[in-house]
Amino acid sequence: MTITCILTDDQPLTLLELANACQVEPAWIAERIMAGLVITPIPARLDGALFGSRAIERTRQLLRIENDFDANPELAALVVDMMEQLTMLRRQIRQDHPVIDIL
Protein backbone atom coordinates (compact mmCIF):
# COMPACT_ATOMS: atom_id res chain seq x y z
CA MET A 1 0.00 0.00 0.00
CA THR A 2 1.34 3.42 -0.92
CA ILE A 3 0.91 6.14 1.70
CA THR A 4 0.56 9.75 0.66
CA CYS A 5 2.69 12.21 2.59
CA ILE A 6 1.83 15.79 3.46
CA LEU A 7 4.50 18.45 3.12
CA THR A 8 4.69 20.24 6.48
CA ASP A 9 5.29 23.53 4.68
CA ASP A 10 1.97 23.11 2.83
CA GLN A 11 0.15 22.10 5.99
CA PRO A 12 2.20 23.61 8.86
CA LEU A 13 2.12 22.37 12.45
CA THR A 14 0.50 23.99 15.48
CA LEU A 15 2.64 24.61 18.56
CA LEU A 16 1.28 21.40 20.15
CA GLU A 17 2.03 19.38 17.00
CA LEU A 18 5.55 20.83 16.83
CA ALA A 19 6.03 19.92 20.50
CA ASN A 20 4.82 16.35 19.81
CA ALA A 21 7.11 16.08 16.79
CA CYS A 22 10.12 17.14 18.87
CA GLN A 23 9.05 15.36 22.08
CA VAL A 24 9.22 18.45 24.26
CA GLU A 25 6.64 20.45 26.19
CA PRO A 26 4.99 23.32 24.26
CA ALA A 27 6.26 25.68 27.00
CA TRP A 28 9.87 24.67 26.19
CA ILE A 29 9.39 25.80 22.58
CA ALA A 30 7.34 28.88 23.51
CA GLU A 31 10.15 30.07 25.81
CA ARG A 32 12.67 29.78 22.97
CA ILE A 33 10.38 31.45 20.43
CA MET A 34 9.94 34.41 22.77
CA ALA A 35 13.73 34.61 23.05
CA GLY A 36 14.03 34.50 19.23
CA LEU A 37 15.96 31.23 19.25
CA VAL A 38 13.74 28.84 17.30
CA ILE A 39 12.13 30.63 14.37
CA THR A 40 9.55 33.38 14.03
CA PRO A 41 6.17 31.72 13.58
CA ILE A 42 3.46 32.92 11.19
CA PRO A 43 1.63 34.91 12.47
CA ALA A 44 4.30 36.28 14.78
CA ARG A 45 2.39 35.48 17.97
CA LEU A 46 2.01 32.15 19.72
CA ASP A 47 -1.79 31.98 19.64
CA GLY A 48 -2.62 30.26 16.34
CA ALA A 49 1.04 30.13 15.26
CA LEU A 50 2.03 27.67 12.55
CA PHE A 51 5.42 26.05 11.99
CA GLY A 52 7.07 24.49 8.93
CA SER A 53 10.00 22.19 8.22
CA ARG A 54 12.72 24.58 9.31
CA ALA A 55 11.11 24.99 12.74
CA ILE A 56 11.04 21.19 13.22
CA GLU A 57 14.68 20.80 12.25
CA ARG A 58 15.87 23.76 14.28
CA THR A 59 13.92 22.78 17.38
CA ARG A 60 15.29 19.22 17.26
CA GLN A 61 18.85 20.48 16.78
CA LEU A 62 18.47 22.92 19.69
CA LEU A 63 17.15 20.13 21.88
CA ARG A 64 20.04 17.82 20.95
CA ILE A 65 22.70 20.45 21.60
CA GLU A 66 21.13 21.56 24.89
CA ASN A 67 20.77 17.96 26.12
CA ASP A 68 24.03 16.51 24.83
CA PHE A 69 26.25 19.34 26.04
CA ASP A 70 24.20 20.79 28.90
CA ALA A 71 24.31 24.01 26.87
CA ASN A 72 22.19 27.04 27.73
CA PRO A 73 19.56 27.92 25.06
CA GLU A 74 21.45 30.95 23.68
CA LEU A 75 24.67 28.99 23.21
CA ALA A 76 22.79 26.08 21.65
CA ALA A 77 21.10 28.52 19.21
CA LEU A 78 24.51 29.95 18.26
CA VAL A 79 25.79 26.43 17.53
CA VAL A 80 22.69 25.67 15.44
CA ASP A 81 23.18 28.93 13.48
CA MET A 82 26.75 27.89 12.72
CA MET A 83 25.67 24.36 11.78
CA GLU A 84 23.20 25.79 9.27
CA GLN A 85 25.98 27.90 7.74
CA LEU A 86 28.28 24.87 7.67
CA THR A 87 25.68 22.76 5.87
CA MET A 88 25.20 25.47 3.25
CA LEU A 89 28.96 25.84 2.68
CA ARG A 90 29.45 22.07 2.48
CA ARG A 91 26.78 21.86 -0.22
CA GLN A 92 28.58 24.58 -2.12
CA ILE A 93 31.94 22.79 -1.86
CA ARG A 94 30.35 19.48 -2.91
CA GLN A 95 29.34 21.02 -6.21
CA ASP A 96 32.44 23.13 -6.86
CA HIS A 97 35.31 21.82 -8.90
CA PRO A 98 38.15 19.92 -7.29
CA VAL A 99 41.23 22.01 -6.50
CA ILE A 100 44.37 20.99 -8.39
CA ASP A 101 47.69 21.70 -6.66
CA ILE A 102 50.43 22.80 -9.06
CA LEU A 103 53.97 22.95 -7.75
Partner 1 sequence: MQFKDYYAILGVDRNASQEDIRKAYRRLARKYHPDVSKEANAEQMMKEVNEANAVLSDPEKKAAYDQMGQGFRADEDFSPPPDWGSGFEFSGRGFGDGNMHDASEFFSRMFGHGGRNRHSHQMRGEDRHARIVVDLATAWTGASQTVSLRVPEMGADGQVVLREQSLQVTIPAGITEGQHLRVAGQGTPGFNGGPAGDLFLEISFRPDGRFRTEGRDVHGHLPVTPWEAALGGSIQAMTPSGPVEMRIPAESQAGRKLRLKGRGIPGNPPGDLYLELQVVLPPAKTEAARDLYRKMAETMPFNPRQEIRP
Q: At what angle do helices 53-69 and 26-34 cross, to 10 degrees?
A: 100
Nearer to partner 1, 45 or 86 (CB): 86
- Of 27, 90, 83, give the one whose Cα is nearest residue 57: 83
- 3-class SS at 50? strand
Which residues make up the interface to partner 1 (CB under 8 A)? 1-9, 11, 13, 20-23, 52-54, 56-57, 60-61, 63-65, 67-70, 83, 86, 88, 91-92, 94-95, 97
Nearer to partner 1, 29 or 56 (CB): 56
Closest CB 5 distance from partner 1, rounded Å: 4
Would you say 5 and 15 are in contact if contact means Cβ atoms under 8 Å apart? no
Closest CB 41 distance from partner 1, rounded Å: 16
Closest CB 12 distance from partner 1, rounded Å: 10
The total of other beta-carbon atoms located within 10 Å of residue 102's CB is 3
